[in-house]
Chain A
Amino acid sequence: MSESPAEDSATAAIGHLLRELAPQVLGAVARRHQDFDAAEDAVQEALIAAATRWPTSGVPDNPRGWLYHVAVRRLTDVARSELARRRREDAIASEAAAIETVVPSLFGEIRPDEDDTLVLLFTCCHPALTPPTAIALTLRAVGGLTTGEIARAFLVPEATMAQRISRAKQSIKASKIAFDLPSDAERAERLGAVLHVLYLTFNEGYASSSGADLQRSDLANEAIRLTRLLRALLPDDGEVAGLLALMLLTDARRAARTGTGGELIPLDEQDRTVWDRLLIDEGIAIVSDTLPRGSLGPYQLQAAIAAVHDEAMRVEDTDWPQILALYGVLEGMSDNPIVSLNRAIAAAMVNGPSAGLDRLVALDSDARIAGHYRLDAVRGHLWEMAGDRERAVAHYRAAAERTLSIPERNYLTTKAARLVDQGRGR
């Protein structure tokens, strides 16, 4: 017998609520217990108990407190049996005191609050973890995705992902990272690491949202959801707002970014009528609200640049002088050769292709990007603008041979082939 639609939607609402509460409860329990692994097991059991009980008993008045107490009780049970084990090995005088040593201050007054989600994010995105590990852990612990879902998103077997997550938890334990909000001195660096992990998660999903990899675009949605969550916790932080706006303004173009054959469509050839106006409006509102407040950062600037692109209903309406100015500020702030590359494109759009090509010369002596396929791809583009077909073709081909992305290789080879065809007058 199938459930009625009303029961279905009640179950779905409970699932949604549990996903929202899970990181808060996990954060609170881990903060108290200082053991990620044990805390996660306990919270998992509390979530399962809620998922089975709530649909019939109804959602309790304080669902977060309910989950927290069930998880803590579970931890206490584990501690008791651990204690019993130790007892068999040597007698311990006071049980209560002993439990206290196994479960430090478990009985103190603590109530889960929103800071706990923040603590959890700071821990999962700790600079001691490699970015791929931090992404997986964040999706698991804060995003509430199952290990299977994360494995599918990263195209690896589930057992591999389970090990990666487990190793991450071990290295958190080994490096004695405290489950707490970072000190003021550390705060900027640690928040930067959180934003970087969310940004990489978004890119992982966005850059591959085509064809067989369609399921990976869920990663972009998840990154947006987590960044919204972070913004609700830190509403006054300009860079958090900037990152959210950047994601929204980029994601707005997702449907226009790939063709029916999974091929890449660059910004200047996209069908702008399929851009998501709601996302653009929201992104622009965030940018306009944040920029005037001062303390500009790289995410805000990138969001501002994305906003200028998204505001142009036709590609020829793009306000390139403004984009060039924004890249100028961004370049002064970030020392990133990819920014210099983009600035060269903007310079070409404002002052002609030779202005852009001149700017690229300096990059040939920058070891971080010299010989990189993107440098060739941009040179191809600028020589094409300048009408030098032969040079453009050579650079597009050189770029195509070195990119590691198949859609990008197809795009670059196609670009070169089109120019050759034009040269033959076809």
Chain B
Amino acid sequence: MRYMLMMNAPRGNGDWGANQWSHDDLKAHINFMHELNADLTKAGELVSAEGLAPPGDAKLVRADKNGAPVTDGPFAEAKEFLAGFWIVDVDSADRAFQIAARVSTAPGPGGLPLIIPVEVRQVMSAPPVS
């Protein structure tokens, strides 16, 4: 079954203020994510993973009565932003939760786990073969 793991970032700039971290803390965080993706690839569980650009220029789009796009935003005052996501193909929901928990422990300043909130949603699939 496939799950989408959505990693939310707290600040307006979408990166936990990593801009201000020390060089070593930054390195540790980058290596953590790199190893995670390498492990998921090796386990044959990674479908895709993408990081999103900072939300500074993000827009909310709706169609007007003619179907033309109407844009709204950006919303700098929002507390949380989707910073990136993984789609994994795993044997059980528990395994998806395990991976999400690992994401959550990505190190921040001083090497302490950030305890990132990760939303886990199952991806719907094709109808069963009968």
Contacts and interface: CB of A to CB of B under 8 A. Distances in A.
User: Real complex partners, A and B?
Assistant: yes
Interface of A: 155, 211-212, 261-263, 397, 400-402, 404, 406, 410, 413-414, 416-418, 420-421, 426
Contacts of B58: none
B49 A401 contact: no
A421 B23 CA distance: 7
Instruction: Classify chain B: how many residues form its interface, as a range.
Output: 20 to 34
Contact of B37 (A212, A417, A418, A420): A212
Contact of B23 (A211, A404, A406, A418): A418
Nearest to A412: B19
A216 B46 CA distance: 17
A210 B18 CA distance: 22
B51 interface: yes
Nearest to A416: B19
B26 A414 contact: yes
Contacts, number: 47
Chain B contact surface mostly? helix
Interface in B56-76: 56
A414 B23 contact: yes
A418 B24 CA distance: 8
Contact of A211 (B19, B34, B51, B54): B34
B22 interface: yes
Contacts of A413: 18-19, 21, 26
B95 interface: no
A410 B19 contact: no
A414 B27 contact: yes
B37 A211 contact: yes
A420 B109 CA distance: 14
Interface in B1-42: 13, 18-27, 30-31, 34, 37-38, 41
Given A414-B23, A418-B23, A404 B53 contact: yes
Nearest to B53: A404
A418 B19 CA distance: 11
B30 A417 contact: no
A418 B26 CA distance: 10
B30 A261 contact: yes
Given A211-B38, A401-B54, A420 B22 contact: yes
A212 B49 contact: yes
B19 A212 contact: no
B41 A212 contact: yes
15 contacts: A211-B37, A211-B38, A212-B37, A212-B41, A261-B34, A262-B34, A401-B13, A401-B19, A401-B54, A404-B53, A410-B30, A414-B27, A417-B21, A417-B22, A417-B26
